[in-house]
Amino acid sequence: MGGNEGIRKRIESWAGESIHTSSAITGGCIAQASRITMQSGVCYFLKTGATSEYMFLKEARSLRELCKPGVIRVPTVFLADPEFLLMEYVAPKSAESNFFECFGRAFAELHRYQQDQFGFFEDNFIGATPQKNIPTKQQANNWVEFFFQKRLLFQYQLAEEKGLANEAMRKGFQQLERKIESILSGSQEPPSLLHGDLWSGNFLVDEQANACLIDPAVYYGHREADLAMTKLFGGFSPAFYQAYEESYALAPGHEYRENIYLLYHVMNHLNLFGPSYYGQAMELISSYLR
C-alpha cells in the first residue's frame, strides 16, 4: 500500500480485520492500483494517487450511476475518499466466444436508461482532464450546443492554454462551429446514460465471462458518442457492434458522425499526452471540411 498507514488503518477499521498482503496491479496511467487481501482471504481493489482531491469521489458516483439500470456489471464501491477508492475485486477471466455479442446487447440496454436533459449533476474527469457536465439552460435540451461547448470547445481552449493549438487548428474549429448543426443533424435522441470513456482498457471479463465496466466518465448524452470511443484504438469485435445494432439500432448517418465524437477523445489525448496526437486531431477536423 505504498506505506500509507492512514489508508491502511481506515480500511482495516471498516473491514474489521487486518490487511494481510498488498500487490500492485499494472495498467493504469492516472492512479496507482493494487489488490489487497485481508486476513480472512477476502480481496479488494484499491486505487490511490489521485491527481485531484475530488477524483475518487466523482469516480465513485459515476460507478454508482452506471449501476442504476442493472443491466451490466459494475464493481461495488465500498469506500470513497479523497485519498483512495476501495472497490470490489473482480478476478479477470479470458473472454469466451460469445463475449462480445453479449457485451453489445448489454451495452445497448445500458443506453436505454435515459433522463430528460444532457449532462450530469456534477463535473467529473475524463482521464486526468476535467470533464464539464453541468449544462446551461440552453444546453440541457440541445445536444449540439452541449457537445460543442462542453466537449469540443473546452478541449480546444485547454489545448490553446497548453500551447498545443496553432492557427490551423483555430481556423478548423471555427469552421467546425459553423458546421456542427449540419454534422449532427438527424441524430436527435433523448439523453442516454453513457460510460463516457469506453475502450478495451476500461472493461473487464469477470468470473462468469461477462463484461464489467470500470473507469467511467459518466454523463447523459448521445449514445453514438459512447460507441465512437470504443473505436479509438482499433475497436471491439464486429460481434459487439452487430449485437448492439440488433438490440438498439442507430440512426442513419451514424458512420458520418463518428469522427466528430472521436475528436473529443483525441483532443483529450492531445492535452494529456502532447503533440503526438495533433496530426490525428487535425485529420478528424479536416474530414468535415473537405
Mention every residue, 6+ apart, whose C-beta is less than 8 A from residue 197.
126, 127, 215, 216, 217, 229, 265
Q: At what angle do helices 254-273 and 167-183 cross, to 10 degrees?
A: 150
Residue 130: enclosing H or E segment and its boundaries?
strand 129-131
DSSP state, residue 202: G
- Tell me if residue 197 is catalytic: yes
Question: d(Cα 107, Cα 77) in Å, to the nearest integer?
Answer: 21
Choose the catalytic residue: 81, 116, 123, 197. 197
Question: d(Cα 103, Cα 226) in Å, to the nearest integer?
Answer: 14
Query: Considering only CA atoms, which of 156, 125, 198 is closest in space to residue 285?
Result: 156
Enumerate the H helices of the chain as residue ranges: 5-15, 55-67, 99-111, 143-146, 154-161, 167-183, 223-229, 238-247, 254-273, 278-286
Catalytic residues: 197
